[in-house]
A = this chain, B = another copy of it.
Amino acid sequence: MTLDAAHAHDYSHNTDIVPAHWRTPRPQVKATVEDKIFDALNTAGTKVRVRRNETIFNDGDTASHTYRIASGTVRLCRHLADGRRQVADFLSEGDVFGLTDEDQRTCSAEAISDVTLLAYPQTQIERAKREAPGVNREILSLITRKFLQSQNHLMMLGRQSAKERIASFLLMLAERSGSSEGDTLPLPMGRLDIADFLGLTIETVCRVISEMKRERIVGLPDLHSIVLNNIDALQALADGDDE
């Protein structure tokens, strides 16, 4: 049974109240759109722990809560009947998911690592929308950003080669985490997750990353890190300046 499918109160193992500092989990000066939305709730949410590879909710479940990530990484994905899978997004600390007006989930959410979530009943979100002016605008801003991300993703899947997709993917992760040349980028997801995000097979992902390593564009200190030796080269690859 997934969390959404469970009764709202059935968090017997984890009803702690969240420390206040989790409101602004990332070290940054400006409040994010996510911060603004959740500050307006005036409630800390229910803390939920999910272990690696467990499902948070399934496509088709009733949407009872909105979640914010306190720690860990989550993937949003859709499955076809025959097991094929498309990962739509990777989410990490501070990110929000499951925020929707629809009453049914249209994708599943799964924990890539052990994850701590803050769960907010949809009714609380609805109340905040009514009572806090500006929350609607922030939510709109959030989904607009997600929509634009999705358009980028479409271009990657529809029109880029395997190597271009991987380069774009690494640049996307670098931008999200604020990494720059020489930094070590955490890669919390496995190769299969990357493959399913990029519309490739795990073997192709491995081969392309290995090739980039041979070309000294990236370094691979361990399975869950990648060193960005040459961002310009990555950018050139992503832009198709290869031939």
Contacts and interface: CB of A to CB of B under 8 A. Distances in A.
A158 B80 contact: no
Contacts of A151: 78, 88, 106-107, 150
A101 B159 contact: no
A14 to B, nearest CB: 29
Interface size band for A = 35 or more
Contact of A239 (B78, B81, B136, B199): B81
Assembly stoichiometry (copies): 2
A86 interface: yes
A143 interface: yes
B199 A100 contact: no
A84 B241 CA distance: 13
20 contacts: A80-B155, A80-B159, A80-B239, A84-B159, A85-B159, A86-B158, A86-B159, A88-B151, A88-B154, A102-B144, A106-B148, A106-B151, A107-B151, A147-B147, A150-B150, A150-B151, A150-B154, A154-B157, A157-B199, A158-B199
